[in-house]
Each structure stands twice: as C-alpha cells, then as structure tokens.
Amino acid sequence: MPSQFAIARSPRLRSTPFHDRVVAAGVHSFTVYNHMLLPTGYESPEESYRHLLESVQIWDVAVERQVEVRGRDALALVELMTPRDIASCRVGQCKYAPLVDEHGGIVNDPLILRLAEDCFWVSVADSDVLLWAKGIAAGRGLDVAVHEPDVSPLALQGPLADEVAEAVFGTWTRALRFFRFRETEIDGIPLVVARSGWSKQGGFEIYLRDGTFGAALWDRIVDAGLSYGIRPGTPNLIERIEGRLISYGSDVTLEHDPFEAGLEAFCDLDKPAEYLAHEALSARRARPPLRRLERVVVGGKRADPNGDFLPLHVAGRAAGRISSMAYSPRLERNVALAMVATGLGQRGLQVTLEDGSQRDVAVVGEDWGASADS
Amino acid sequence: MPSQFAIARSPRLRSTPFHDRVVAAGVHSFTVYNHMLLPTGYESPEESYRHLLESVQIWDVAVERQVEVRGRDALALVELMTPRDIASCRVGQCKYAPLVDEHGGIVNDPLILRLAEDCFWVSVADSDVLLWAKGIAAGRGLDVAVHEPDVSPLALQGPLADEVAEAVFGTWTRALRFFRFRETEIDGIPLVVARSGWSKQGGFEIYLRDGTFGAALWDRIVDAGLSYGIRPGTPNLIERIEGRLISYGSDVTLEHDPFEAGLEAFCDLDKPAEYLAHEALSARRARPPLRRLERVVVGGKRADPNGDFLPLHVAGRAAGRISSMAYSPRLERNVALAMVATGLGQRGLQVTLEDGSQRDVAVVGEDWGASADS
C-alpha cells in the first residue's frame, strides 16, 4: 500500500540491476528489503492480483539476497542454522528452511539452494543472515567462506510462466520439477533457473549471476512474454495472504518459534546434524504453543491493507495481532494473517482498524471458508 | 532527498514511538534504517541546515537500535567485535567503535555505551549487528544474553541544545561531558541521557527506555524548547558531510576496512583483548590502503544530492565513487564524501552526476578549503 510519504533515496538503499526497467515500466512505490529497493506496485493491487491469477508477471525480487556458504564446513554451518535436515538436500535442489536461533526464535525463512556438495545459497527474506552466518562461522572457527555474491533474482510467476520460460530458456524448463534448479545461460548471461517463487500461481525464479546484465535479461523475458500478456508485477499482498506465504518481519519475527509460525512441517527436530535450536525446540514441542499464526477473516466492508500491526482483543483482553490484511476480490472478504493467542477460545475476536472501525475477526481454515459472521 | 516514489507501509517497516508526533509535525519523507522508518525531512535540507547551525532541533532517531549485551562474558563479546579497546570504557561512558569482521571488513560503526561492568548497549547504524553478535556468542558458547531492548533514541542537536536539556532534565546536564551519559527519569519516563549525537553542533541523545512514553517525551521536550526556537529535524545531509560523519552502508560498507574508512584513530590494534579482526588488520596496517574515504568538492553549479553511488574516473579509468553529496550554502560549493583510489594521484578526477553533467572533483582537506577549480 503506497503511503502519502516519499521515500528518500541514498546509496545505502541499493537499487537493483533491474531498477531502470522497473522505473520505465511505471512503478509507483517501493519498500526497503535487505537494504535494497523492492518495487511494490505498478497498478492497483486488485488489478495486479487478477492479472497474476490468469497470466504471467515479471517481478524484480533482487532484494532476495543470497548468502553463499562455501567450503569444507559449508554443510555443517548451514545445518547449525536450521532445524530442517539439509544433508538430504541434493545438488540442484531447493529447500524452504526456517533459520532458528538457540532460543528457538526465527531469524529468517529462506529457500536454501545446494549448488555443490560444499556450496549453498541461502536466499533470504529481510534480515542480515549474512552477519549471523559470519558470526557463527567465526565463533566456531569453521572452514567456510561466507559472502553475498552478485546474484539478483527475477521472478516469473503466473499460470503462463511455463510458456515464457520455454520461449526464453528452452523446453527443458517444462521438465524442471518444483524446487529444483539448473545452472544455465542465455546470450552469455549466467543464470540459475529454479521452479519456485513467492506465489501459489506457479513459475520460476531466475537468479542473475552478473548484475551488469540486468536490463538485458529483463528485456529478453519481457520480449518473449509479450504475446502471453506478461506485465511487470510484484509479490502480491492479496495472493500471498490467500496462499499463507509468510512475510518475515511482519507475520513472523525473532520473537516467534516455528511452532507458533506453523512451520513444523519444515523442521526435522531429530535430524542427525547438530543445530543451534535443538535444545530450545525440543523443549517447546512438548507443550502446545501459546499463540499461532492463523488465517483470519475480518468482517465488514472492504478494508485497506494495514501499515502497522493491528492488535486483536477478546472482550477487552489482548489476544494477538493482525500482521497482513487485504481485501480479496475473489473471496469477497478481508483476508488476513494474525498471530492469535490460543488460550482464549478464539471466539469474540475483535480488531480496531487504522480507519477507526471496529471489526469482528474469525479464525478460518485453509479454504478461508468461514466468515466473521458465522 | 525525497524521490518521486511513495514508500509502501507494512508492519515489517516498524514505526517508532515518536511516529504520530513526526507525522503531525509535517514530515514529508522517510528512509528505512534497521527495519524502521527514519524521518528524513520536514522542510528543505538547506533551511533545516541553517536552523540546525543556529538553534536547536529534536530528531526521531529511534532507528538507532540498541544491541544489549549482558552477562559474565559481555565484555569479551564486545571486545571480539571491535579493534577498539573497550576494557577501558567506564560505566557511564560511550565510545565510537568500528565493528570489524575477521577479514577486516566493517560490519557497523556504532557508539558503545557501558551501562554496567557486565552490560553494554551497542547503538548501531544500519545493519543487523544483533544477528552478528548472537552468531559469535552462539558459536563461541559465551555466557551472555544478547537482545534488542525497548530503547528508542531522540536527539536534541544544535547550539541551544544545552538550554533545552537543562530546562527538561535539570542543571546536571550542563556538567555532563562529551560521550558521557547518565540514567535518569522525568515524569516517570525512564531515560538515558548522553552528550552525543550525529552532528557537529553539539547536543544530546536521549534514550527512551519505554516506547509507550514516546509522545509524552516528545511533547515535554518540544514544550521546553519552544522559547528557544526548537523545530523537528533530522540528521542533516549537508551538515554531516561537512563534519565527515560516516553513513554506514553508503560511505563505508563491509567491503571497506578501518584504514580505508579513515577510522584508524578509533582502533587499538594492539589492545590486550582478543578480537576477530586482529590478524587481518595487523597485516593491512603494514601497507598503505588502495583507497580512502576523502572529503571532495564537486565543481560547477549547485548539484542535487545523489540517490546512488556516483563513479569517479580519471582519464576514463575507474577511480572510486562518491557516496554522499550535497550543496553547502555556507561553503557555497558541492561537498561530498568519496572513496578515492590512492594510486592515481587524485588529479583530473571527474564524475558524471545523475543529471548527466560532467564535473571536476577535487580532494580537499579538513577545512574544505580547496576548490575543484584550484
């Protein structure tokens, strides 16, 4: 949601290799993510949502920075950072893996790509995982090199992404399985192409390995996509809430553990490798969490997305907070993700929106089926 | 410099405890710093600069987050992070200390406050030092608690800051020495008051220790300052370039060492305590750096501040980059900080600005005395 405030530019907020193309395409707002400018809109979120669900979009998501971990102890370091089993990750495979500290707090929720037996990319959400990894490595004296390479992802998302990928990269992309990647190049531009992305509409993430080719890569994909109706887009708030895709720093923070975040499925608590969170998470799994990230529906008329956390209450008692909210034109209701206290029965939940209106809130299941009125 | 783009709000970009007051005061733009919104302007930078040099301003700099390091190994951990000697820092004292990794790269350039023998606040610039510190501590198995407390600095800066501080906190502030602080409270609001700040005009940083009092503290200071002409302000680009105050992430990054940054004076390379950068910095001090952060003057008419790095060249050869630039109405020239290659003699330096104009660049001394034409 663009605010009424301008963003002040400075080199500290790095622009991406696709910046000129993004500006030329008519971007109207940015957020900052990993010290970089992330485009957040070209048209209305609703219009972009509709297009994403039926066509194909190109997203500048170069802010997904890679933390490259390479060397004899690379696997050991990555294992230390996450409760997910990484040893079983094959070269050419990606795993979504919450990074968790020694107190059970989530540091980030990256995709981890294994480029070689001794080389990983940790493709991070918004926190300096680079510094955490460097700190652990230095503290342990591990034999690894940890750095941020010149790698900038572009996403190709939407039901027609396969057509565009085939046109640009070749037929092999059709056979690429979910969360698998291949190193390749086109026109001398070095790339990694993965079937992945921060939407549920399918598609690819294309990791550009040399930022000087940003405009060339963008143009190549847009040219190939024109006949499929490709448009510039961004991670879409409505679509990603519907798909329960977590925005780290909003929906989940260092204050939350994987049980609260609903990320148990991405933890292998008894994995053979040593990891920092082992003791903390083993203790926590014995008891149900006091709060959980839930899909909720906010009653009443169409609400604007929130700029800040929205506290939840039940009969005047604090009961959690909504972190991400948007009106879904498809579901015709306000959908949201909220960290909800588990002890209060989740009945009678209310929220006060930024426009001052008081709304009923209902925890719903995967299908967003229940409504705030039920 | 506000851009033509809006900033997209979301809870991931945390607002400060002073946010409502900042908005009410007419802020027009923000940047993002440590995952928070940092106000960047209420009036023109030139007007705010003039006011800062003759009066007093209140700045919302709550984005300067504190990394609290507490426990038996607190001193050992802080020592590991910096080549500066911290053992000699007394309780009640602050030290400016570059944090440096095992390769000699600067991780941050905080002020470190010693609150107790076994408790420090590392008051950080824009990078997740929290994660680096946690990583080192976990890797080493140190007996420390590392967290981000609910502490939000306000700055009171300008030649009349002493008058306002005395009116709000009492006469003891007159005797407070530079880089010393005291724990105190007013109206039940818990505070730390330090004589410090990110300008060369003198003043205080007031660390609010309970965010619920943000508006109350702001109002208390503004009320006391009205008769002295207090205005809301922000760290001022012109003034801080003139004073050679570094903006981490722009002027200096992880790619630079303390010699390149000109921070040797804040390093005690032979300090008794162990620190991660010891080997790397000991090797580097033997040879002159290949580049250095210099004050430079950019010739020609008044230039707009840069939004991105501006590459420097000498006869077509790359020679570094300008990171921060502004027109100084006092010096009547474009002042800038630039990382300049040392091997090229620094004559014939040129830069192409974002408006396409080609300008001569001259490295100058502390007094900004030389001009690009000399």
> Are A100 and A71 found together in one domain?
yes
Using a CB–CB cutoff of 8 Å, tell me whether B257 touches chain A.
no
Same domain, yes or no, for B122 and B232?
Answer: no
Residues B162 and B37 in one domain: yes
Residue B100, in any domain of the structure: yes
% of residues, chain A, pLDDT over 70: 98
In a domain, B156, yes or no: yes
Q: If pLDDT is split at 50, 70 and 90, which confidence band does A374 have?
A: very low
B11:A308 CB<8 A: yes
A10 sits in which H/E element: none
Residues composing chain B:
374
From chain B, the residues in CB contact with A27 under 8 A are 5
Contacts with A, B 258-317, CB within 8 Å: 276, 305-309
Q: What one-character DSSP code corresponds to residue A73?
A: T
Q: How confident is the model at residue B344 (pLDDT cuts 50, 70, 90)?
A: confident
Domain presence at residue A300: yes
- Indicate if the pLDDT at residue B201 is higher than 80: yes
Shared domain for B157 and B57, answered yes or no, is yes
What is the reported pLDDT for B372? Answer: 44
Q: Is the pLDDT of residue B72 over 80?
A: yes
On whether both B370 and B229 belong to a single domain, the answer is no
The pLDDT of residue A372 is: 45
Give pLDDT tens digits for B249-264. Answer: 999 999 999 999 999 9
Task: Look at residue B373 in the predicted model and tell me its pLDDT.
Answer: 46
A69: helix, coil or strand? strand
Helix, strand, coil shares, percent, chain A, to 5:
25, 35, 45
B370 CB contacts (<8 Å, ≥6 apart)?
B297, B362, B363, B364
Q: Which of B223, B224, B306, B247 is nearest to B61 (CA)?
A: B247
Percent of chain B with pLDDT over 90: 94
Mean pLDDT of all residues belonging to chain B? 96
Give the global pTM.
Answer: 0.97
Residue A57 reports pLDDT greater than 60: yes
Q: Do B138 and A136 touch, CB atoms closer than 8 A? A: yes
Q: What CATH number should be reported for the domain holding residue B77?
A: 3.30.70.1400
What letter does residue A228 receive in the DSSP assignment? G
Q: Which chain B residue has its CA at the smallest distance from A41's CA?
A: B8
What is the token pair recorded at A169?
A: 């990269």
Residue B197's Cβ-side half-sphere holds a number of Cα atoms within 13 Å equal to: 31
Average pLDDT over residues A5-15: 97
DSSP A254-323: TT--HHHHT-GGG--TT-SS--TTHHHHHHHTTS--SEEEEEEEE-SS--PPPSS-EEEEETTEEEEEEE
Q: What is the pLDDT of residues B271-291, one digit of tens each?
A: 999 999 999 999 999 889 999
Q: What integer is the mean pLDDT of B33-45?
A: 97
Is A134's CB within 8 Å of B129's CB? no
B131-134 own/partner pairs: CB under 8 Å, 24+ apart: B131/A107, B131/A127, B131/A128, B131/A129, B131/A131, B131/A132, B131/A135, B132/A128, B132/A131, B132/A132, B132/A134, B132/A135, B132/B81, B132/B99, B132/B107, B133/A135, B133/B67, B133/B69, B133/B77, B133/B81, B134/A101, B134/A102, B134/A132, B134/A135
Dihedrals phi, psi of B41, to nearest 5 degrees: 180, 140
Q: Inform me whether the pLDDT recorded for B217 exceeds 90.
A: yes
Q: Please answer yes or no on whether A12 and B40 come within 8 Å at the CB atom.
A: no
**Alpha carbon distances (Å) from A243 to A191, A239, A267, A364, A366:** 28, 6, 20, 13, 9
What token pair was written down for A284?
Answer: 């926590």
Q: How confident is the model at residue A367 (pLDDT cuts 50, 70, 90)?
A: confident
Q: How far apart are CA A34 and CA A38, in angstroms?
A: 9
Tell me what pLDDT residue B127 has: 98
* Buried/exposed B128-156: b ≥16 CB within 10 Å, e otherwise: bbbbbbbbbbbbbebebebeeeebbbbbb
> Measured between beta carbons, which residues in chain A are less than 8 angstroms from residue B2?
6-8
Choose the closest CB to B134 out of A1, A132, A308. A132
B336 falls within a domain: yes
Which domain, by its residues, includes B275?
A: 66-144+257-289
Both B263 and B297 in one domain: the answer is: no
Question: How far is Cα B360 from Cα B233, in angstroms, rounded to an integer?
Answer: 32
CA–CA gap between residue A242 and residue A247 (Å, rounded): 13
Band of the pLDDT at B160, cuts 50, 70, 90? very high
A143 within a domain of the structure (yes/no): yes
Asked if residue A373 has pLDDT above 60, the reply is no
- Indicate whether B46 pLDDT > 50: yes
Which of B22, B82, B109, B136 best probes binding to A when mutated, by most A CB atoms within 10 angstroms?
B136
Tokens of B147: 């967290």
Q: Which of A269, A242, A256 is nearest to A324 (CA)?
A: A242
B127 and B25, same domain (yes or no): no
Residue A182 burial (C-beta neighbours within 10 Å; 0-12, 13-18, 19+) = middle
Q: Residue B358 belongs to a domain with what CATH number?
A: 2.40.30.110
Please state the rounded mean pLDDT for residues B297-323.
96
Give residue A344's pLDDT.
77
Helix (H, G, I), strand (E, B) or coil at B134: helix
Q: Among positive and negative, which fits the CA dihedral B179, B196, B326, B252?
A: positive
Q: For residue B371, name the pLDDT band (cuts at 50, 70, 90).
A: very low
Residue A307 inside a domain? The answer is yes
Same domain, residue pair B39 and B56: yes
Contacts of B132 (CB under 8 A, 6+ apart): A128, A131, A132, A134, A135, B81, B99, B107
Answer whether A198 touches B (CB < 8 Å). Answer: no
Q: Cβ contact (<8 Å) for B3 and A4?
A: no
Residue B72 belongs to a domain:
yes
Q: How far is B146 from chain A (nearest CA, A)?
A: 11
Q: Chain B 99-128, CB below 8 Å of chain A: which residues? A: 101-102, 107, 126-128
Q: Give the separation between CA A277 and CA A83, rounded to whole angstroms.
A: 7
Best CA proximity match to A49, nearest among A60, A38, A57: A57
Pair A205, A348 in one domain: no
Which token pair is A145?
């090199």
Q: Is residue A4 part of a domain?
A: no
Residue A4 half-sphere exposure toward CB, CA atoms < 13 A: 4
Rounded CA-CA distance B238/B118 in Å is 38
Mean pLDDT of A285-307: 95
Decide: helix, strand or coil at residue A75. Answer: helix
CA-wise closest residue to B8 among A60, A308, A155, A22: A308
Percent above pLDDT 70 for chain B: 98
| Chain B residues 25-64 with a CB less than 8 Å from chain A | 27-33, 35, 40-41
Helices (H), chain A: 19-24, 45-54, 74-81, 129-140, 161-169, 172-175, 214-225, 237-242, 258-261, 278-284
Residues B102 and B52 in one domain: no
Q: What is the pLDDT of residue B367?
A: 87
Instruction: Provide the CA A261 distance to its chain's centre, in angstroms.
Output: 14
Q: Which residues on chain A are in Cβ contact (under 8 Å) with B12? A: 31, 126, 247-250
Which residue from A354, A334, A263, A250 is spatially nearest to A45, judged by alpha carbons? A334
Q: How many Cβ pairs closer than 8 A exist between chain A and B?
A: 185
Q: Reply yes or no on whether the pLDDT at B82 is more than 60.
A: yes
Tokens of B72: 């038996």
SS3 label, residue B351: strand
DSSP state of B372: T
Contact predicate B58/B225, CB 8 Å: yes
Rounded to two decimals, the ipTM of the complex is 0.97
Given strand B145-147, what is the order of strands in its sheet?
B94-96, B111-116, B119-123, B66-70, B145-147
- Is residue B302 located within the same domain as residue B355? yes
User: Does A12 touch chain B if contact means CB atoms closer than 8 Å?
Assistant: yes
pLDDT exceeds cutoff 60 at B122: yes
More confident site: A287 or A229: A229
B129–chain A Cβ distance below 8 A for any pair: yes
The whole-number average pLDDT for the span A237-244 is 98
The count of domains in chain A is 3
Whether B52 and B228 have beta carbons less than 8 Å apart is answered as no
- What contacts A298, CB < 8 A, 6 or more positions away? A322, A325, A333, A334, A335, A336, A351, A353, A359, A360, A361, A372
Pairing of β A29-33 and β A36-41: antiparallel
Taking an 8 Å cut-off on Cβ atoms, the answer to whether A8 and B15 are in contact is: no
Query: Which of 316-345 (B) contact A at CB < 8 A?
Result: 323-324
Residues A166 and A230 in one domain: yes
Residues of A in contact with B7 (CB under 8 A): 2-3, 5-7, 29-32
Convert the pLDDT of each residue in A248-270 to its tens digit: 999 999 999 999 999 999 999 99
Strand partners, A282: none
What DSSP string describes B138-180?
HHHT-S-EEE--S-EEEEEESTTHHHHHHHHH-THHHHPPTTB
